[in-house]
Amino acid sequence: MKNKEEENETVNVNNTDGSIVLLAKLYSDINKYWASEVNSNGSNFDFDSQDIYRHLLENVMFISEIIEKINPETEKEERIVLLEHLHKSIIPNITIYKKHIELFKKLPRKKLELNEFRKRKYPESTKNDKELESLLYKIKEIQNREKYFSSDLYNNIGFLTHNFHEELYLYSCYINKLITTNFKNFKPYDKNYLMIHDKIFFNMGIVYQIHKNYNNLAFEEISELELYKVLNLQNTISYLEIKNINRITYIFHKLQDILPKHIGEQWLIGILKEIKYTKKHYYSKYRIVKSSSATEDEEVFANEVDTLFNEKVKPLTS
């Protein structure tokens, strides 16, 4: 006969404990990979490591059951010990990433993709890298986001350009917060890290205003349609090239503000991935044009943006 405490157990303890043990082991292995990449200044980074990172993220971490559902009053000592061990494995991962973030950002992901594209599709081609890259981009560009990220091209080659170091770090921060807060205010982890969606964040009217006023000012020359795809996170290649980071981040701040809060937060994460900027970098930049250290030109710019959003760009509803 089960006692009351056993009946209140709502989770498969064996699965949960097993997941915690597995994650701790995996983090130990990932930390060794990362340390090796750091010590070799990135020369150890290759196709296999990217493939491993993607597999671990999607097929192990995202499906691991570690949510603590045991009531603190009936908590098992073994579970506490396992979580402490997992926590000790995660902290070095977070530390390594923060310390070497610039190295990880600059790893030759595009070069890996191009080399694999040449090897698989055009092994006898005499095209140079620039010509081959242009051909690859044309193939990507004609596909919508959802189709591309489920295609053989992405699964075999395209995934190589993604910053899985950042994704693993973000997941580490999530697990760290769960453990340190004893799983209070738990929210499921957003597994849609590729931002595959069917939302229209900004209509063409808003995009027109941004393009008309800031094309070749905050960002390099780009077509209105390309900007529409960028701001709505629909593109499969990166169109947007930043011309002035202080200005573009302030525009992003104003765009986020016109979206419903939960959607705005989701959009900001996506657009920062598009331009390969961290939240920390974003938050250190977007306020500059409104700060006491702003130049006269930046003050004029900020006032013009504020006026534009007050008069012509209206808040959107969910």
pLDDT digits (tens, 9 = 90+) for 260-309: 999 999 999 999 998 888 888 899 999 999 999 999 999 999 999 999 99
Q: Is the pLDDT of residue 231 over 90?
A: yes
What is the mean pLDDT of the segment spanning 53-68?
90
Read off φ and ψ for residue 295, nearest 5 degrees.
-75, 170
Specify burial of residue 122 (Cβ count, 10 A radius: 0-12, 13-18, 19+). middle
Please, which residues have CB within 8 angstroms of residue 9's CB and are 6 or more apart in sequence?
A: 69, 70, 74
Q: Are 16 and 66 in contact (CB under 8 A)?
A: yes
pLDDT digits (tens, 9 = 90+) for 68-100: 665 555 567 788 888 999 999 999 999 999 999
In this structure, which amino acid lies at residue 94? I
Count of all residues that appear for the chain in the document: 318
- Which of 38, 168, 36 is CA-nearest to residue 90? 168
What is the mean pLDDT of the segment spanning 208-213?
95
CA distance 9 to 74: 9
Longest dimension (CA), the chain: 77
What is the mean pLDDT of the segment spanning 131-149?
92
Q: Is the pLDDT of residue 133 over 60?
A: yes
Q: Are 311 and 213 in contact (CB under 8 A)?
A: no
CA distance 137 to 106: 20
| C-alpha torsion sign, points 84, 11, 64, 98 | negative
Q: Is the pLDDT of residue 318 over 60?
A: no
CA distance 69 to 43: 43
| C-alpha torsion sign, points 279, 281, 284, 285 | negative
State the virtual CA torsion across 121, 125, 129, 132 in degrees, nearest 10: -50
Specify burial of residue 215 (Cβ count, 10 A radius: 0-12, 13-18, 19+). middle
Give the pTM: 0.85
